[in-house]
Structure 1
């Protein structure tokens, strides 16, 4: 694509979300009714709201973030590349505050960009909505009010792959397969995160999964620009 990007100015990220409570019955009566209304079109007559609740994590109004993984190049040259990966997890409000601090202190310049796969449709607005719900002021990189399309500091690898085709959805797993990128999907997938979080209570497994996706987003952007893929020695987990 020859996008002429400064890779050291990009923050790659991925988020993992789950329903706000483990069980539908734990929601208030009003929240149950609102969820039923919100999902009426998707469910049709195939599922009751309770049966459909395991998918609630995809909506910021009924879900919460349990992990944000980020990755960034601390060096990017023909002689040396180092890609640092770290994660925020625990209580959602703390996750969001720590992520906001990272944006406000280290990725706050006009040249800085956020990059995710389907980030414009999911990750970026989801984080922004959950910040508002948690009474956190939006960092500039997520506050899009009044900005023109070309001023929005976001890169979406799925949007890049669309090449203007707005009807085209391509999963991360499919793109890694056709582009020869090592697949991150060797453990769990997004539909299993809620179970791993609530039943197994294994946040470390979710963090590992989230970090692999973050690395893969970086690999995609490298591949789109005909840059060599990252190898294990170039990736540092902190």
Structure 2
């Protein structure tokens, strides 16, 4: 048989269908609550395992390598700024500190992405286990449904079968309710980690453009902040004596 037939999601679907049928036969509020609870736990662990790969970094078994490339590029930019640009006294040290902080945050973001991937993997294992529990609970409910039907057919045994059914449902609910709470807490924690990683990624994307730096010159071009947005941008050095054309003499300063 194929894995798709016996995958986690299909076990949940089978459990939910069986529990719903049993609840319709038993016709007790607890039976419907258990069937609804099984429906709320449905998840696909195979998709979770597949989703972890794009989140994790290359060195930890994932596909993400852009962060390492980003840190290499920023380090190269730092070296170019140090060796090729012309700075006012003490200006480069200020910029260097901001770039180092940016690289530090990029490393933190890589770690957070790995944590999201690890949480997805843990979630997959967790829901694998829950799917088997849900299937076993549905199986017990099917047995109780059969018992309930026997009571309807054999009126002499009706009182005993009803008592056994009620006791069985109560026992199932007492064991299943804490599991539902754990699933909810687990899902909430995983979502919180995902949100944190996504927020950090957005903040990092904005940080470089929001960086405030002193002017550094590269011959006829300078590195400065845009007057409207404040973003880091190349600025052409203009010489009024040349009608606004760039002054091509090396070492020209905007200060």
Whether the TM-score (by the shorter chain) exceeds 0.5 is no
Which protein is richer in strand relative to its size? 1
The TM-score with structure 2 as length reference comes to 0.23
More helix by percentage: 2
Between 1 and 2, higher relative CO (CA 8 Å, sep ≥ 6) is seen in: 1
In our comparison, the structure showing a higher alpha carbon Rg is 2
TM-score by length of 1: 0.25
